[in-house]
Amino acid sequence: MTVMPSLPLLHYLVLFFSFCALVAGAPETRTIDDYNGDSSTKAKPTYIPSSQWNPGQLCTNYANCHLQPNVSLAHDGTWHDTTHLEGSPALSMQFSFIGVELSVFCILPNKTASAVKNYDLILTLDNANYTYVHEESQLTDNYQYNVSVFTAKNLANTNHTFTMTTSVNSENVVLFDYATYVVDPEAPVESSGSEDSTDSKTNLPAILGGVLGSLLFICLAVLLAMYSRKRRAEYRSAMEAGQVDPYNPSSNRNLPLSLPTSPTGETTSFGYASYSMHTRNPSGPTPTVTSTLDSSGSRSVAVDPAAIDWDSKAPSGPPPAYTAQG
């Protein structure tokens, strides 16, 4: 026997599929950690040259690492640092992403550290250059974490490349911690050339949202049709079993309707669907139907047999209107 879904189940299914569709289409913030890389693609930043950049959390010798922030306060407990000396080649860090917003965060040293502490950066996003300068005189006695050195919003939903480079004109330091970017499945996608394959991956949430939305409506239509069909089948079965009182729709649906013994000695039980009796004299008085409720909660209906013609054929059309008493 197939178990049909109940109305509460349909309600929960609606909520579930609606939630999936909303989640699939909502903007998502992803993280690019200096050490662990992209939280989604797992791609890691590129450090140029790699020999000049140090995973700060791995350096515990103060003689070699004069800047030692609190590991527990850094994002994921990691950071990459480098020190540039005036006149030496520039040092850089680079990563790519697909999204509509970008923020880059660094750790600022404290002013008491015996090391180069100035920030003098050139920040490049898709060939557009910006600068970030933070002088030693602006530092505090404590390390500063989650300091935003670059923010960009309303970007085209396509592949972007970000590069952070030390200025060659001064001594400066960098402690890169992490970056965040926002992926918006609802934003129009701009793609070209080699970016097509990457863009298609980014569009997966949008495609998934559309598919889930379509499945939601299909499932609801099927479930509602099945439920409606089940209810109609149950009603027909109840009618045929004599469990529906056509004279009193609000009565007990499990009511068996019983006729008194016919002139031939037969006792007839019927429901509306099997109604076959009619009056002996259509122009005479209307037969009386008596409905009785006993102490056990069972209801019975009795019909005056004298008013029923058991031999004639039932007239066409709807049954006569009986008057229920009691």
Question: What are the structural domains of the chain?
Answer: 26-181 (2.60.120.260)
What beta strand segments (E) does 192-287 contain? 258-261, 267-269
Residue 260 or residue 116, greater confidence? 116
Query: Average of pLDDT values for 309-319?
Result: 53
% of the chain at pLDDT higher than 90: 45
Give every CB contact of residue 121 below 8 A, 6+ residues apart in sequence.
Answer: 131, 132, 133, 149, 164, 165, 166, 167, 172, 174
**Closest to 27 measured CA to CA, from 213, 209, 214:** 209
Query: Average of pLDDT values for 22-50?
Result: 91
- In the three-class reduction of DSSP (H, G, I as helix; E, B as strand; rest coil), residue 318 is classed as coil
Cα-Cα-Cα-Cα dihedral of 60, 63, 64, 67, to 10°? 70
Q: Could you tell me the two tokens for 103?
A: 């923020």
Query: Quick one: pLDDT at residue 233?
Result: 79
- In the three-class reduction of DSSP (H, G, I as helix; E, B as strand; rest coil), residue 162 is classed as strand
176-185, 223-232, 300-309, range with greatest mean pLDDT:
176-185
Residues 228-250 have pLDDT tens digits of 787 777 767 776 666 555 555 55
Instruction: Please answer whether residues 260 and 302 qualify as being in contact, where contact means their C-beta atoms are separated by less than 8 angstroms.
Output: yes
Q: Could you tell me the two tokens for 136?
A: 């030693």
pTM of structure: 0.56
Query: Average of pLDDT values for 22-36?
Result: 85
Query: Quick one: pLDDT at residue 103?
Result: 98
Residues 64-81 have pLDDT tens digits of 788 999 999 999 999 999
Query: Average of pLDDT values for 279-285?
Result: 53
Query: Average of pLDDT values for 143-162?
Result: 97
Instruction: Please answer whether residues 65 and 142 qualify as being in contact, where contact means their C-beta atoms are separated by less than 8 angstroms.
Output: no
Query: Average of pLDDT values for 246-260?
Result: 50
Instruction: Please answer whether residues 263 and 215 qualify as being in contact, where contact means their C-beta atoms are separated by less than 8 angstroms.
Output: no
**255 confidence band (pLDDT: 50, 70, 90):** very low
| pLDDT tops 90 at residue 183 | yes
* DSSP labels, 2-16: PPPPPHHHHHHHHHH
Query: Quick one: pLDDT at residue 3?
Result: 47
Cα distance between residue 113 and residue 174, in whole Å: 14
Q: Mean pLDDT score of the chain, rounded to an integer?
A: 76
**216 confidence band (pLDDT: 50, 70, 90):** confident
| pLDDT tops 50 at residue 267 | no
Residue 111 or residue 275, greater confidence? 111
Residue 245 or residue 129, greater confidence? 129
% of the chain at pLDDT higher than 70: 58
| pLDDT tops 90 at residue 256 | no
Query: Average of pLDDT values for 25-39?
Result: 95
* Whole-Å CA distances, 230 to 1, 226, 252, 279, 280: 12, 6, 20, 36, 39
Residue 247 or residue 195, greater confidence? 247
Q: Could you tell me the two tokens for 104?
A: 């880059």
Give every CB contact of residue 136 below 8 A, 6+ residues apart in sequence.
Answer: 111, 117, 118
Query: Quick one: pLDDT at residue 186?
Result: 87
In angstroms, the first-to-last Cα distance of the chain is 40
Query: Quick one: pLDDT at residue 12?
Result: 58
Query: Quick one: pLDDT at residue 262?
Result: 47
Cα distance between residue 234 and residue 240, in whole Å: 10
| pLDDT tops 60 at residue 265 | no
